[in-house]
Chains A and B, each alone.
Chain A
Amino acid sequence: MTTALPIRASWREATSALRDGVVKLAEYVATPLVPADYLDLVSPLRSGAALRGRIVAVEPETAAAATLVIKPGHGWRRHIAGQYTRVGVDVDGVRQWRAYSLTSPLDRPDGCITITVKAIPGGVVSNHLVHRTRVGTIVQLDQACGEFTLPETCPAKVLFVTAGSGITPVMGMLRNRDDRLADVVVVHSAPTSTDVIFRSELGRLAANGHIRLVELHTDTDGMLDAETLEELVPDLAERETWACGPVGLLDAMEQHFEQTGRATKLHTERFRPNVLVTGEGGQVSFAKSGTVIEVDGVTPLLDAGEAAGVLMPSGCRMGICFGCVAPLREGAVRDLRSGDLTTAAAGDGVLIQTCVSAAAGACDIDL
């Protein structure tokens, strides 16, 4: 035993030195690319690769919604029920990133994850995912994140208030529920009964006594408001609540919980707004330099940044050389040549040409 330890230690050192040597050699062999560029040709989902997933099935839920079953790469870490993942999908050749709630049970035998997408009218990505996704497609993934989850010690009484695709994170929680979730009420709104995602599964959960389900149809019942909710859930004041749905519903919920002094008992999940309101010009902030300026809708961001003393990369100043490209962290810009709008939500980092782009609302640029 006295000699085994040093031997084992030196063996470990030797193997780690060998591994480093092999990696170094592979880098020499692959330069100016990296070994991963070649490995991606044969095994895009291997461990150590950029996180991706392969779509293995597309299961329709309603006429406008579908569940995508995704086999994630080896690097995927387990998520917590209620969290979302960012999915990067190529639509018409352009990489688009969107966030979708994970709806799968954590212990799926095939190791797959699922997201459930509702096609929004005019939605570039959602329509593509629901109606035009081909099985076998590789999508980009991010590790799951989000705070819209159940706490370690569950409250005795829980209320879920959802509308439309807002049911998706809640379904993620219901499918992963354990004995802790004993007294659950789900109030879910959708335009009509045929628009209710997971309708039969919710019905089964209710029939088996796992949840009390209140299904509302906004086409006939109107939008859910706080008063109606109090009527539907008489013990509302005793329930810790998780709400997910359109902005109007969440605002109403927040207002109600604020007024009743229970703001800490409400958890909400806001998806990105479908329509980004864009004006002419806006406030532009440069994240790295900390400069914030007001810019009109006709001045290229490059000129505006330079005038404000920001160190802007630049080139031809006419939109051909791409020497000025910088990541738009968040916001909206308009291409001065075509009038096209490019938008970015937090974390997107869409690369824009600052010499031909003007602010079309507030923007945050990574310079």
Chain B
Amino acid sequence: MTVIQKKADNPIAHLSAQDVETLGAELDAIRADVVASRGERDAAYIRRVIDAQRTLELSSRALLLVSLFPPAWLAGTAGLAVAKILENMEIGHNVMHGQWDWMRDPKIHSTTWEWDHASPSEMWKHSHNELHHTYTNVVGKDNDLGYGIMRVDEDQRWVPLNLGQPLWNFVNACFFEYGIAAYDLELGKNWSSRKDNAEFRRQGKAVLAKIRAQMTKDYVVHPLLSGLSAPTTLAANTVANLVRNLWSHSVIMCGHFPEGVQTFEKKSIDGETRGEWYLRQMLGSANIEGGPLTHLMAGNLSFQIEHHLFPDLPSNRYQEIAPKVQELFERYGLAYTTGSLPRQVASAWQKVIRLSLPNGFFDKLKSVRTPTAAVEVVAQLTGTRPPTRERAAA
């Protein structure tokens, strides 16, 4: 993919400015419908999910007290992994988006929620809600496009470090919560700037404190409470965190990386209207098809398109409005990017692997006949050597 503005077959060329604003008004109407009908049913839903998650986590941890007994280990580990996924995806992410703030319950509120994750909620809300959701898929503005460690768009500059990005991505998937914390901290930028940055030091301390509390809980206190089962409980908690990391990484990769998702030029969002903002969200996100369980475990980010259009609507409503949103896509001649979880994960990984090499690497390589020419092409594509005199003259 390449930024939409440079595409030969620009997928929004057929829409006039008026069309885009009408589209925006139709989306506003969908939003208004949900807001007007939010009520007891929704409140009961999130309270039920929270109660179920806490009950599952408590009972799984209780089982793990005797994790020396293999069936207890298996059931406890599975239960804890599911509880951790629910807590991060359907509860934490969505509560911190302010999806449930309308209930005015201080215990289920974006300003008071803290989640089972290495990144403190305050920092995550800034980098995710303010930056990613505002600048979605704008190359150079939205750091979620590759998290600063990968190249996921042709218009992102290739550097030799990208060769290793399939590996970085796998490592990031395994330790995803720490990756997110480092990302929210803008670790790379702040570290290399070597400035005496008081804000960075304050946030760094907060992250370390959060990580310490999280690790003490999972890797010290709960194992010790298990007595003889300490080693197996330690293993169980490690596996549960790993499973949660791999799962959330996969779901989140599917949101913006699969084939078909569009990206945008930095200057294209100058003076962007509400309608244009909506359009960018529609084209910059991708859904996952699946059953009710998939949606619940994905925190309804399987409706990433609907979530990006209306980040603050209750997650249980995305599925309900999806048909209306899809109908708008059809009517306005836009592509609603969706697919099964395996397909979308594969598509995202394919892109990570393909873009680890410079643009058009294979095409150019195919045209090469001699070994010296091959070296030449590689050198040029990767920018590792200046162009030869002949080519420069040409």
Q: Is the CB of B104 within 8 A of A350?
A: yes
Q: Is the CB of A321 within 8 A of B133?
A: yes
| Chain B CB within 8 A of A124 CB | no
Q: Is the CB of B109 within 8 A of A92?
A: no
Range for the number of chain B residues in contact with chain A: 35 or more
CA–CA, A322 to B109, complex, Å? 10
Closest to B309 in A: A320
Q: Is the CB of B43 within 8 A of A322?
A: no
Residues of B within 8 A of A338 (CB): 32, 35
Q: Is the CB of B221 within 8 A of A28?
A: yes
Tell me which of A38, A92, A321 contacts B98 (CB under 8 A).
Answer: A321
CA–CA, A323 to B107, complex, Å? 17
Interface residues of A in 1-54 (CB under 8 A from B): 25, 28-29, 31-33, 37-38, 41
Interface residues of A in 70-99 (CB under 8 A from B): 90, 92-96
Q: Is the CB of B43 within 8 A of A316?
A: no
Q: Is the CB of B134 within 8 A of A325?
A: no
Which of A38, A320, A325 has most chain B Cβ within 10 Å?
A: A320
CA–CA, A315 to B127, complex, Å? 10
Q: Is the CB of B129 within 8 A of A90?
A: no
CA–CA, A92 to B36, complex, Å? 11
Residues of A within 8 A of B378 (CB): none
Q: Is the interface of B mostly helix, strand, loop or mixed?
A: helix
Closest to B43 in A: A93
Q: Is the CB of B130 within 8 A of A92?
A: no
Least Cβ–Cβ distance between A38 and chain B, in angstroms: 6
Tell me which of B55, B103, B107 contacts A41 (CB under 8 A).
Answer: B55
- A90-B40, A325-B98 given as contacts; is B110 within 8 A of A32 (CB)? no
Closest to B217 in A: A31
| Chain A CB within 8 A of B105 CB | yes
| Chain B CB within 8 A of A351 CB | yes
Closest to B99 in A: A322
Q: Which 7 A-B pairs have the closest CB atoms?
A: A93-B43, A322-B98, A321-B129, A95-B104, A92-B39, A32-B114, A315-B130
Closest to B308 in A: A320
Closest to A36 in B: B107
Q: Is the CB of B129 within 8 A of A316?
A: yes
Q: Could you give 28 example pairs across A and B, Cβ below 8 Å?
A: A28-B213, A29-B217, A29-B221, A31-B216, A32-B116, A33-B114, A37-B54, A38-B58, A41-B54, A41-B55, A41-B58, A90-B40, A90-B105, A92-B39, A94-B104, A95-B104, A96-B104, A315-B129, A316-B134, A318-B134, A319-B312, A321-B97, A321-B133, A321-B134, A321-B311, A351-B101, A351-B104, A351-B111
| Chain A CB within 8 A of B42 CB | yes
- Binary flags per residue of A50-71, CB closer than 8 Å to B gives 1, else 0: 0000000000000000000000
Residues of B within 8 A of A323 (CB): 125-126, 129-130
Residues of A within 8 A of B225 (CB): 29
- A29-B221, A93-B103 given as contacts; is B43 within 8 A of A325 (CB)? no
Least Cβ–Cβ distance between A29 and chain B, in angstroms: 6
Q: Is the CB of A28 within 8 A of B54?
A: no
Which of B54, B104, B133 has most chain A Cβ within 10 Å?
A: B104
Least Cβ–Cβ distance between B240 and chain A, in angstroms: 15
Q: Is the CB of A90 within 8 A of B103?
A: yes
Q: Is the CB of A94 within 8 A of B213?
A: no
CA–CA, A311 to B259, complex, Å? 43
Least Cβ–Cβ distance between B224 and chain A, in angstroms: 10
Q: Is the CB of B40 within 8 A of A325?
A: no
| Chain A CB within 8 A of B151 CB | no
| Chain A CB within 8 A of B175 CB | no
| Chain A CB within 8 A of B102 CB | yes
Closest to A140 in B: B105
Q: Is the CB of A28 within 8 A of B217?
A: yes
Residues of B within 8 A of A321 (CB): 97-98, 125, 129-130, 133-134, 311
Least Cβ–Cβ distance between A279 and chain B, in angstroms: 25
Residues of A within 8 A of B103 (CB): 90, 93-95
Q: Is the CB of A94 within 8 A of B102?
A: yes
Q: Is the CB of A92 within 8 A of B40?
A: yes
Closest to A92 in B: B39
| Chain A CB within 8 A of B317 CB | no
Tell me which of A32, A90, A350, A351 contacts B213 (CB under 8 A).
Answer: A32
| Chain A CB within 8 A of B38 CB | yes
Residues of A within 8 A of B134 (CB): 316, 318, 321
| Chain A CB within 8 A of B249 CB | no
CA–CA, A320 to B31, complex, Å? 12
Least Cβ–Cβ distance between B283 and chain A, in angstroms: 18
Known pairs A31-B213, A95-B103. 17 more at Cβ < 8 A? A25-B221, A92-B38, A92-B40, A93-B44, A315-B130, A318-B134, A319-B312, A320-B98, A321-B97, A321-B129, A321-B311, A322-B97, A322-B312, A323-B130, A325-B110, A338-B32, A351-B104
